[in-house]
Every structure is written in structure tokens, then in C-alpha cells.
Amino acid sequence: MKTYKNHPPVPKVLQEALKEYPALIADLEEALTGTGVTLFMSKTLRYDQFERAIALLEVCLESYWSDATEEVKAAEATGNTALIAKAKEKEMLMINCRTDSLGRGVGELKAFFD
């Protein structure tokens, strides 16, 4: 995968939602280095990179959601209600990031590639 020097930042709405998980934000940032713009890049290529950025974020967020679901199962196996509640809270956050926050961050990504 090519790494772009001029790549989009993680959308602010995702940064805010994931502020308690800096490693996840760093992971998203790293994923976005696979997209970007170069001098004299055509509008078509910019759009392709925009689409790729969205796809990369979707894959990462889907993975976080899956991991959070597994954390809930593990917590439920312990019977520890505090641990279960915390795991379910994280799972809901990941669901919201994937289904809502990403959609609200698309405009910021589009502006970067325009």
C-alpha cells in the first residue's frame, strides 16, 4: 500500500467520539495514510482516493465493533456486572461510530479531497 505524505486527518467527529481510545484514533490515522492527494492529481483520482478513505475507515470501524462485541461476550462470561456494563458501553460507542459518526465525517473528508 502506498503511503501518502498529504493524507486526510481522521474526521473530527470520530476523534471526539473515540477520545478515550487514542490507540484507535492512531490506527485510523495510519489507515488514512493509504489515501491522499498529490500535486496535479486529477479530479477523478481525487474522488477515487476519497472513496478509498471512506472504505478504509469503514473497515477499521467494523473491526472495532467486532472486537467490542467479543469484549461483551468475554465480560458476560465473568458475570461481573460493572465489566459487562463497560463493555456494552464501548460496543454501543463503536456501533455509533460506524453507523452515525462516520457519516457525519464524510463532509470533512470530501472537503480534503476537493
The model's pLDDT over 12-40, given as tens digits with 9 standing for 90+, comes to 999 999 999 999 999 999 999 999 998 88
4 located within any domain: no
Q: What's the mean pLDDT in 85-106? A: 94
58 located within any domain: yes
Residue 90: domain span: 12-113
| Buried-exposed string 65-99: b where 16+ CB fall within 10 A, e elsewhere | beebbebbeebeeeeeeebbeebbebbebbeebbe
39 located within any domain: yes
25 located within any domain: yes
Q: What's the mean pLDDT in 57-66? A: 96
The count of domains in the chain is 1
Mean pLDDT score of the chain: 94
Rounded Cα gap, residues 58 and 10, in angstroms: 12
pTM, 2 dp = 0.89
